[in-house]
Amino acid sequence: MLLVAVSVVAMLFDIFPVLLAAILSALIWDVFFIPPRFSFTIANSEDALLFALYFVVASVNGALTYKIRQIEKIALKKEEKENTLKLYNTLLNSLSHELRTPIATIIGSTDNLLMHSSKLSDENKIELMNEISKSSVRLNRQVENLLNMSRIESGFLQLKKDWVDVSELIFDVVNRLKEYTADHPVGVIIKNNLPLFKLDYGIMEQVLYNLIYNAASYIPKYCVITVRASCLDDKLILDVEDSGSGFPAEETDKVFDKFYRLKNSRTGGTGLGLSIVKGFVEAHNGTVRLENMPEGGARFTIEIPTEISYPENLENE
């Protein structure tokens, strides 16, 4: 037990407390177990040798335990450094594509408009302006994702909750994404007599936007996207599902990790969309989970416990 105590001290403290614990344990053993008991006197040379050996063993045990802990710390720091470097490289590679591509498009289009305006037809000018608009929206989306992630990680994300009509929220997001869902029919199924929910409208709008945009970006053409909304036990239940091929089973636990992208996914994307979804949902004290459906495709399910109220109640108030 004394040796165990020295080992525990070695796992928690610096080397000097470890050596002190070794000395104290040896003295305790001397006083309570080596005859004559309850004194520091050692009667014979055999007991003296035993005492000395115990002190050496206790000191070596403590020092080795402390050394092992130091080695583990160094290994952990090295692993953290490698992970940080890996994340940095991932982010740099993603941003170099996701930010440079729209910037290059904007610069090229504006140069054409400025330098060759007289040679361009009205149709060409409209086409270039459309390219500038699309690239600006894409660039703005990536900057928003980075800002949103920094808000989540800094802990400064503050919700501005108000009564939200979820059906209005869903249709607003679906209408915003019409350009990206042109090849994917989007169905909306909302339970009858759905109450109002106390939520941050802007945050939840971003959550739905990221989920639907993610589905539209990666599922094959003409696969259906379905958004469902219901209320169960004072919880808002939102489902975003698709009829695509689903996610690899071994990667479903990683999709919400920051900067994580599926191994066989197409180029582009920063891997922030789903991690932002998780952060925003958890800011509402909710949960989000992913599951592959038996008939094919994937389903994201969001559950948020919140205050609810029916419209007639608010009118009475």
24-33 pLDDT, tens digit per residue, is: 777 777 777 7
Query: Would you say residue 86 lies in a domain?
Result: no
**pLDDT surpassing 90 at residue 190:** yes
Q: Could you tell me if residue 100 is inside a domain?
A: no
Residues 296 and 173 in one domain: yes
pLDDT in tens, 46-76: 777 777 777 777 777 777 777 887 888 888 8
User: Measured between alpha carbons, how far is 239 from 221 in angstroms, rounded to an integer?
Assistant: 21
Domain C-terminal end among 29, 44, 78:
78
What is the model's pLDDT at position 96?
63
* CATH for 175: 3.30.565.10
- pLDDT for 284-313, tens place per residue? 999 999 999 988 889 999 999 999 888 665
Comparing 210 with 271, which gets the higher pLDDT?
210
| 190, 228 Cβ separation under 8 angstroms | yes
Q: Are 245 and 274 in contact (CB under 8 A)?
A: no
Indicate the range of 12-16, 75-79, 167-171 predicted with least confidence.
12-16
Give the whole-angstrom CA distance, residue 242 versus residue 295.
Answer: 11
Q: What residue numbers bound the domain in which 169 lies? A: 162-313
Q: Please indicate, yes or no, if residue 119 is contained in any of the structural domains.
A: no
pLDDT given at position 86 = 67
The pLDDT, as a whole number, for residue 236 is 94
Q: Does 277 lie in the same domain as 168?
A: yes
Burial 123-132 (b: 16+ CB within 10 A, else e): eeeeebeebb
Question: What token pair was written down for 40?
Answer: 């520091």
Do residues 171 and 282 both lie within one domain? yes
Domain count, the chain: 2
Which pLDDT belongs to residue 92? 63
CA–CA separation, 90 vs 271, rounded Å? Answer: 9
Pairing type for strands 186-190 and 225-232 reads: parallel
Q: How far apart are CA 135 and CA 139, in angstroms?
A: 6
The C-alpha torsion from 38 through 44 and 48 to 50, rounded to 10°, is -90
Q: What is the mean pLDDT of residues 94-106?
A: 73
State the distance between the two ends of the chain, measured CA to CA, in whole angstroms.
68
Question: pLDDT by residue (tens digit) across 256-265?
Answer: 877 666 665 5
Does the model's pTM come out above 0.75?
A: no
In a domain, 144, yes or no: no
Q: Enumerate residues 6+ apart whose C-beta is below 8 A from 66.
A: 10, 11, 14, 15, 18
Inter-CA distances, 118 with 109, 110, 112, 121, 129, Å: 14, 14, 10, 8, 15
* pLDDT on residue 274: 86
Q: Name the percent of the chain lying above pLDDT 70.
A: 83
Per-residue pLDDT at 212: 93
CB of 213 closer than 8 Å to CB of 177: yes
Mean pLDDT of the chain: 81
